[in-house]
């Protein structure tokens, strides 16, 4: 039995791939958008269970409204996961990051209205919460806290600015249009990789394993990609889910994280020293847990991540 028809933008990425896998396993028919469906880097999607019968891919660009609308037609819901992520320095961040994130989100939401989609889940980021210099010092940052866009730009945090503007727009659009929109703000996303290329957060963990002389003893705030996929589906399926949700499983200092990794994998070249830094403001995801979200142990996330990096040849 078909459970429903949903669209996932950015279906071939790290998060998008796990979400597609989960949705297919739950009986959904999935419309996945890809920039170039014939690209071999998306071949892993066709190896997923039930992909042959229940996955339909669409060539779509977030800035091309008609291509997005075509992918959305016939769907009950949409998971807007796609967003430009900087791989290195960006010469024109307004044009290369902010414009596609904001205009792309608007195109998806307008397409939802036109295609009569009932519910849209928008993937935002902790970057839309954490950059707020006016937030009372020591007060836990939760869903009520918004990053200051101008402060993000002034400090060169263009990705955070793009996610903040796009999420603000999504919730404003929901209020004006009546479209059911829920946003999720994940923290650093780790976990096993389904695609053949590595994403930025996986590279951060590999860097820790390959060793650098000294690292700052900052808090690593982590969520497993599989638990994030479950959170996205949870807020889609729960009618009472409203507004925004921060998605965080574990908070661990770099020195403690390295200690865990060393006990599991003693032979890697770990950092030799840790520079103490001022502790960051605390963040909490109680709101998501109150509607039934649970997450796996950190050790499982680390073990499964490293196993997949080894299988792909990124680690010995």
For residue 57, give the CATH number of its domain.
3.40.50.720
Q: Which long-range contacts (CB under 8 A, 24 or more apart) does 23-28 make?
A: 23/233, 24/48, 24/49, 24/50, 24/51, 24/54, 24/55, 25/49, 25/50, 26/233, 27/1, 27/2, 27/3, 28/2, 28/3, 28/4, 28/54
Assigned domain for 304 exists: no
What is the average pLDDT across 218-246? 96
Assigned domain for 260 exists: no
Dist CA 316 CA 303 (whole Å): 14
Assigned domain for 285 exists: yes
Tokens of 122: 């928008």
pLDDT at 62 over 70: yes
Q: What is the pLDDT of the chain when averaged over all its residues? A: 93
Question: pLDDT value at position 97?
Answer: 85
What is the average pLDDT across 254-274? 93
Question: pLDDT value at position 95?
Answer: 82
pLDDT at 141 over 60: yes
Tokens of 243: 């507004």
Q: Is 176 exposed, middle or buried (0-12, 13-18, 19+ CB in 10 A)?
A: exposed
Dist CA 191 CA 309 (whole Å): 10
**Digit-coded pLDDT (tens) for 15-37:** 999 999 999 999 999 999 999 99
**Digit-coded pLDDT (tens) for 76-98:** 999 999 987 766 677 888 888 88
Dist CA 83 CA 16 (whole Å): 11
Assigned domain for 263 exists: no
Tell me the residue range of the domain where 84 lies.
Answer: 5-190+221-250+279-293
Assigned domain for 236 exists: yes
Q: Tokens 């890809």 — which residue?
A: 34
Residue 276: name the closest of 214, 216, 219 by CA: 216
pLDDT at 190 over 60: yes
Question: Residue 254's pLDDT band (boundaries 50, 70, 90)?
Answer: very high
Domains held by the chain: number: 1
Q: Which residues contact 244 (CB under 8 A, 6 or more apart)?
A: 124, 143, 167, 171, 182, 183, 184, 185
Radius of gyration of the chain (CA): 19
Residue 167: name the closest of 180, 155, 179, 185 by CA: 185
What is the average pLDDT across 52-79? 96
Question: pLDDT value at position 181?
Answer: 97
Question: pLDDT value at position 163?
Answer: 95
What is the average pLDDT across 252-273? 93
**Digit-coded pLDDT (tens) for 237-246:** 999 999 999 9
Query: SS3 of 28, please?
Result: strand
Residue 162: name the closest of 153, 154, 171 by CA: 153
Question: pLDDT value at position 277?
Answer: 87
Question: pLDDT value at position 99?
Answer: 87
pLDDT at 155 over 80: yes
Query: SS3 of 225, please?
Result: helix
Active site residues: 163
Question: pLDDT value at position 83?
Answer: 80
Question: Residue 2's pLDDT band (boundaries 50, 70, 90)?
Answer: low
Assigned domain for 195 exists: no
What is the average pLDDT across 115-133? 96
Tokens of 1: 């039995």
Assigned domain for 135 exists: yes
What is the average pLDDT across 216-240? 96
Q: How far, in whole angstroms, is CA 89 from its chain's centroid?
A: 21
Question: pLDDT value at position 87?
Answer: 60
């Amino acid at each position: 039995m078909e459970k429903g028809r949903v669209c996932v933008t950015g279906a071939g990425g790290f998060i998008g791939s796990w979400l597609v896998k989960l949705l297919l396993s739950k009986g959904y028919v999935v419309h996945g958008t890809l920039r170039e469906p014939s690209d071999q880097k998306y071949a892993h999607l066709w190896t997923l269970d039930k992909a042959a019968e229940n996955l339909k891919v669409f060539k779509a660009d977030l800035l091309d409204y008609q291509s997005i609308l075509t992918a959305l037609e016939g769907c009950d819901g949409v998971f807007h996961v796609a967003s430009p992520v900087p791989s290195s320095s960006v010469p024109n961040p307004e044009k290369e990051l902010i414009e596609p994130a904001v205009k792309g989100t608007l195109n998806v939401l307008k397409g939802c209205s036109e295609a009569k989609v009932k519910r849209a889940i928008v993937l935002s980021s902790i970057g839309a919460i954490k950059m707020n210099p006016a937030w009372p010092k020591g007060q836990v940052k939760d869903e009520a806290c918004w990053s200051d866009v101008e402060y993000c730009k002034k400090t060169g945090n263009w990705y955070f600015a793009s996610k903040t503007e796009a999420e603000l727009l999504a919730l404003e659009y929901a209020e004006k249009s009546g479209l059911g929109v829920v946003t999720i703000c994940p923290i650093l996303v780790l976990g096993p990789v389904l695609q053949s290329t590595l994403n930025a957060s996986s590279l951060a963990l590999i860097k820790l394993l390959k060793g650098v002389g000294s690292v700052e003893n900052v808090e690593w705030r982590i969520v497993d990609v599989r638990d994030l996929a479950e959170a996205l589906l949870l807020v889609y399926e729960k009618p009472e889910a409203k507004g925004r949700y921060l998605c965080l499983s574990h908070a661990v200092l770099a020195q403690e994280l390295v200690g865990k990794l060393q006990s599991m994998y003693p032979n890697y070249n770990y950092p030799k020293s840790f520079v103490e830094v001022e502790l960051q403001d605390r963040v909490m995801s109680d709101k998501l847990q109150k509607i039934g979200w649970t997450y796996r142990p950190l050790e499982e996330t680390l073990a499964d991540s490293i196993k997949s990096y080894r299988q792909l040849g990124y680690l010995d």
